[in-house]
Amino acid sequence: MSSIADALHRGPLRRVGAAAALVACGITAVPSGVWTSPGGSSIPSPPVVTSAVRAVATTASVPAGSVPPVSAAAAAAGLVDVRSVVPDAIIDLRYATTNNFTRTQLYPADARCLVHESMAPGLTAAAAALRPQGQALVFWDCYRPHDVQVKMFQVVPNPAWVARPGQYARSHEAGRSVDVTYANVSPQCPPQRQISGICLADMGTDFDDFSARAKAFATEGVSEAAQAGRKRLRDAMNYGGLSVYSGEWWHFDGPGAGVDRPILNAPVE
């Protein structure tokens, strides 16, 4: 939710060998291997996806060509529907419901998750990094109209948690930031963590939790499992060149998210 408040503290992960080329070509069942960070440290890559896991992970996929075109205003602003970029994305826009910190519905019920086209390669790569383990990106917020940002700041007038509306668009208002988590296959899952038949990862807090535990690298009051879940999400998003905002584990910025741009008037439906 917040505007860019910290520098890019972690570079994007890269796959050793030809895996990056496979992702660029749209091949999502990436071979086993090792991811390395620019500093040289490595982490094991996910195991190769099995047919059973693939079946569950793609049940929410949108058939190619079935995503309706965006509005003329959205297209003119360079916005695209995230489902055209990540077909198996799970869309759970909290601000299109009353299940958010304002307790009011801020978006139309049929709101779409729109992102600037510059985020497309990064989100494609991030989704590909999660998919081999039967995991899928869950989008809580994407492009956010300026008038909604104004309403949010009226409810929580604290720039540490809600970006102060200004004369320019950046971050969510420019369609260049997303609020995400991921869901995965789990035989046992608490009802409150189930979505679209699969289980939300344990991240230690819910979306829009205004506490110190929501910070991306928080450890106090955050279980080891939740810390591992947050790292898994960061690694996948970093793989796509998207950087986490240190104040919120769910907020990731794309290229140029901190640049001041003209305010958009594009609708979200």
* CA separation, residue 240 to residues 20, 95, 150, 220, 255 (Å): 10, 26, 30, 28, 11
Question: Domain limits of the chain?
Answer: 72-253
Least confident of 84-98, 154-168, 247-261: 154-168
Residue 172 marked as a ligand binder: yes
For domain 72-253, which architecture applies? 2-Layer Sandwich (3.30)
As a whole number, mean pLDDT of residues 242-259 equals 97
Q: Could you read off the pLDDT of 30-89 as tens digits, one per residue?
A: 322 333 333 333 333 332 222 222 223 333 466 656 899 999 999 999 999 999 999 999
pLDDT digits (tens, 9 = 90+) for 113-170: 999 999 999 999 999 999 999 899 999 999 999 999 999 999 989 888 888 999 999 9
Contact between 209 and 203 (Cβ < 8 Å): no
Q: Identify the active-site residue in 117, 173, 224, 248.
A: 248
Q: How far apart are CA 167 and CA 104, in angstroms?
A: 25
209 marked ligand binding residue: no
251 belongs to an annotated ligand binding site: yes
Token digits of residue 61: 């996929």
DSSP-assigned beta bridge partners for residue 179: 141, 251
Q: Quickly count: other Cβ atoms within 10 Å of residue 219's Cβ.
A: 12
Within its chain, how far is the Cα of 171 from the centroid? 13
Say if residue 1's pLDDT is above 90. no
- The tokens describing 220, both together, are 């106090």
Q: Is 248 a catalytic residue?
A: yes
